[in-house]
């Protein structure tokens, strides 16, 4: 993230979120700010090709909706990275489509 953009974000603008199947099983965990939680559905809508978008489209094809939940809010970016990694560990990386256990987690020294 560029320094100009970072300057525009409040220190507590970040959150950790999950995307889940209609039955509540989480399939993705992420860190974001602003409208990030909605971006994956936008990508799916415009035809982006990835596992996450394929799952979202499959849910829509069943006439259902993705469950989007902000798990932790009002976080600093450092806190968000740490909690994202912890939530991925809690859910189990093998059960998620996340490709790694969290971005930049080594930088924040879990």
User: pTM of the entire structure?
Assistant: 0.82
pLDDT in tens, 95-108: 999 987 665 555 44
Phi, psi angle pair for 16, to nearest 5°: -115, 135
What are the start-end ranges of the E strands in the chain? 14-20, 26-33, 67-75
Q: Which CATH number fits domain 3-99: 3.40.1440, 1.10.12, 3.30.460, 3.40.190?
A: 3.40.1440
Q: How wide is the angle at C-alpha 37 spanned by C-alphas 34 and 38, nearest 5°?
A: 95
Residue where the block lists tokens 């849910």:
59
Mean pLDDT is lowest, of 3-12, 24-33, 58-67, 70-79, for 3-12
For the stretch 80-103, what's the b/e string if a residue is b when 16 or more beta carbons lie within 10 angstroms of its beta carbon? bbbbbbbbbeebeeeebebeebbe
Residue 72 structure tokens: 């932790």
Mean predicted lDDT score pLDDT of the chain: 88
């Amino acid at each position: 993230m560029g320094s100009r953009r970072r300057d525009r974000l409040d220190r507590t603008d970040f959150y950790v979120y999950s995307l889940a199947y209609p039955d509540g099983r989480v399939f993705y965990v992420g860190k974001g700010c602003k409208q990030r939680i909605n971006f994956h559905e936008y990508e799916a809508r415009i035809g982006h090709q990835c596992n996450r978008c394929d799952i979202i489209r499959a849910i829509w094809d069943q006439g259902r909706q993705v469950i989007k939940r902000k798990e932790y809010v009002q976080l600093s970016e450092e806190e968000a990275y740490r909690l994202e990694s912890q939530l991925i560990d809690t859910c189990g990386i093998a059960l998620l489509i996340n490709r790694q256990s969290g971005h930049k987690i080594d930088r924040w020294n879990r």
